[in-house]
Structure 1
Amino acid sequence: MQAARQSCSCLTGVIVQGRTNFLLSSSKMASLRRGLSYINFIRSTVCALGSNKLTRQQFLRLPETVRTNIVPFSVGSGLCAVPFTQQAEQLSHEALIRRASNLVTDSANTYLSQTTLALVDSLTQYAKALHTLIALQRRYLATIGKITPAEEDSIWQVIIAQRVEVGDRLEACNRFETNWMNAINICEMASEAAYSSGAEHASVTVKSHIQMAKVQVEDTRQISKDAERGLAEIKAEEIQRMAEYSSTRDINVEDIPEAYLRED
């Protein structure tokens, strides 16, 4: 009998425990359903708060228990709204203007770099063409009175072609210099705009790029100026040598007896 009583008590305990677990699971399911209903209610309430004044007042009159139960779900769902809030703060007018000024300075720096490269390259090619012309002029001066007229004509054809190339190179320099000056002006305006919008770093960067570009162009321009000076000197020497050669040839012609100059 005692064993039977213990078996009955154990069976009763199992039944009570199973009934308790069932009730607990049922309560959990009820809480989950209640939470889902709260979430759906919050969604509909948020959509209606901005347009329906009556619904807003009804929401404010909710019981305290409902409000406390809504808080955890609203916090959980509000995690997705945090980045949007931060993004809205970053998309102010001042921030957008700073971003735009940074883009302008970047584009201006790119334009300045390209025009500076083009101008420096054109000035370098112009200086090379000038040095080639100077070498041809010196070669011609060294052969005055020592070559035949046909050879002299061939040399002059080469010199004339080189002078045409020098003119083309100079025209390219003038064209690229116009673009470069426009880039300088744009960069200066972009620097002022960036400074006024609060992007001081971008403004300083543009100013430094302007200074570097001016130094590069000035150094290359000095090389071309030296070549132009050398060409001017060789032209002056050519004029002097041609005058001396002409006077010498006239004197030699006058010294020749007339009998040698008269044809039979």
Structure 2
Amino acid sequence: MAALRRGAAYFFRSSARVLFNCKNTAVHKPRKWTNVLYTGIASLAVGGGLCAVPFKQVEQLSHDSLIRRAASLVTDSSSTFLSQATLALIDAITDYSKAVHTLVALQRRYLTSLGKLSAAEEDSIWQVIVGQRAEVSDRQDECKRFESTWISAVKMCETAAEAAYTSGAEHASITMNTNIQVALSQVEEAQKLSADAEKKLTETKVMEIERMAQHAASVQNNDEEEIPEAYLRED
């Protein structure tokens, strides 16, 4: 700061002498005075230590650079959209899989107890099964809704990645394609779980048809066996 003050004092004394010596010619030659003034200012800047202050040169923004920046922003926002849509879809698929597994367990428990329950117990279990089937249907509709949103997000990200690449923002394009692949992999793993649950549900339905047919045949045989006994009692 002391050096800066000494430089400033020196500048003003020098400027005063120059102004006094050149007052007669200043009107006719203003450009010379301007050059002297600029030279004095430059001397002040160097002598006063102002050159130590970091000045950032302003980048000349071209249309290409502005487009690249905009493309990078688009990939960032698209990645956020894809991330949220992927998370929502995975949670929906997980809830759907859990609901299906619960339904499978209830139906198999019912089939195991078929013929051993009273009418009231069977009706109570069936009420629970019907409610669980409604839960499965609701979860499935939720999966379809989030899947539609997720597909739109994937398409948007693909478009954003392509736009970033053509605009010269290669890094943003590569990052976007990586995010797409990660989202596809995560959803695929979740869909494998739901497919396994649906497979077990299908197997349970086949089992239900077979057990119900066997139970109906057993009841019919019992009824046929009871008829002769009734006739014998009448005789």
TM-score when normalising by structure 2: 0.80
Tell me which of the two structures has the higher relative contact order, counting C-alpha pairs closer than 8 angstroms and 6 or more residues apart. 2
Gaps of 5+ in 1: 1-26, 38-57
Instruction: Note the C-alpha offset of 1:71.
Output: 2.7
Instruction: Note the C-alpha offset of 1:32.
Output: 3.7
What is the aligned partner in structure 1 of residue 39 from structure 2?
Answer: 71
What is the aligned partner in structure 1 of residue 120 from structure 2?
Answer: 150
Paired residue secondary structure (1:144):
coil
Contact 2:82 2:157 in 1 (8 A): yes
Q: 1:200 to 1:247 in 2, by over 3 A?
A: same
Paired residue secondary structure (1:233):
helix
- For residues 170 and 42 of structure 2, the distance between their equivalents in structure 1, rounded to whole angstroms, comes to 42
- For residues 98 and 168 of structure 2, the distance between their equivalents in structure 1, rounded to whole angstroms, comes to 46
Q: 1:120 to 1:67 in 2, by over 3 A?
A: same
Equivalent in 182, 206, 210 of residue 240 of structure 1: 210
Q: 1:240 to 1:94 in 2, by over 3 A?
A: same
Aligned residue identity for 1:223: L
Aligned residue identity for 1:154: S
Pairing 1:31–2:14 present = yes
- For residues 114 and 173 of structure 2, the distance between their equivalents in structure 1, rounded to whole angstroms, comes to 60
Equivalent in 216, 223, 231 of residue 253 of structure 1: 223
Q: 1:194 to 1:254 in 2, by over 3 A?
A: same
What is the aligned partner in structure 2 of residue 173 from structure 1?
Answer: 143
Pairing 1:186–2:173 present = no
- For residues 176 and 81 of structure 2, the distance between their equivalents in structure 1, rounded to whole angstroms, comes to 11
- Deviations along 1:98-157, one digit per CA (max 9) or x if unpaired, are 111111111011100100000001000100000000000000001110000000000000
What is the aligned partner in structure 1 of residue 185 from structure 2?
Answer: 215
The Cα RMSD (Å) is 3.2
Instruction: Note the C-alpha offset of 1:251.
Output: 1.2
Paired residue secondary structure (1:102):
helix
Instruction: Note the C-alpha offset of 1:70.
Output: 2.6
- For residues 36 and 153 of structure 1, the distance between their equivalents in structure 2, rounded to whole angstroms, comes to 111
Instruction: Note the C-alpha offset of 1:72.
Output: 4.0
Taking the TM superposition and a 5 Å limit, the aligned residue runs for 1:1-264 are 30-33=13-16, 62-63=31-32, 67-73=35-41, 76=45, 83=56, 86-89=57-60, 91-258=61-228, 260=230
Instruction: Note the C-alpha offset of 1:30.
Output: 4.6
- For residues 196 and 34 of structure 1, the distance between their equivalents in structure 2, rounded to whole angstroms, comes to 62
Instruction: Note the C-alpha offset of 1:196.
Output: 1.2
Paired residue secondary structure (2:152):
helix
Gaps of 5+ in 2: 1-9, 21-28
Instruction: Note the C-alpha offset of 1:263.
Output: 11
Contact 2:15 2:40 in 1 (8 A): no
Is the radius of gyration larger for structure 1 or structure 2? 1
- For residues 165 and 101 of structure 2, the distance between their equivalents in structure 1, rounded to whole angstroms, comes to 45
- For residues 126 and 160 of structure 1, the distance between their equivalents in structure 2, rounded to whole angstroms, comes to 16
Aligned residue identity for 2:14: S
Provide the aligned length of Structure 1 versus Structure 2: 214
Q: 1:36 to 1:208 in 2, by over 3 A?
A: farther
Paired residue secondary structure (1:176):
helix
Instruction: Note the C-alpha offset of 1:255.
Output: 1.4
- For residues 197 and 117 of structure 1, the distance between their equivalents in structure 2, rounded to whole angstroms, comes to 30
- For residues 74 and 213 of structure 2, the distance between their equivalents in structure 1, rounded to whole angstroms, comes to 60
Contact 2:15 2:37 in 1 (8 A): no
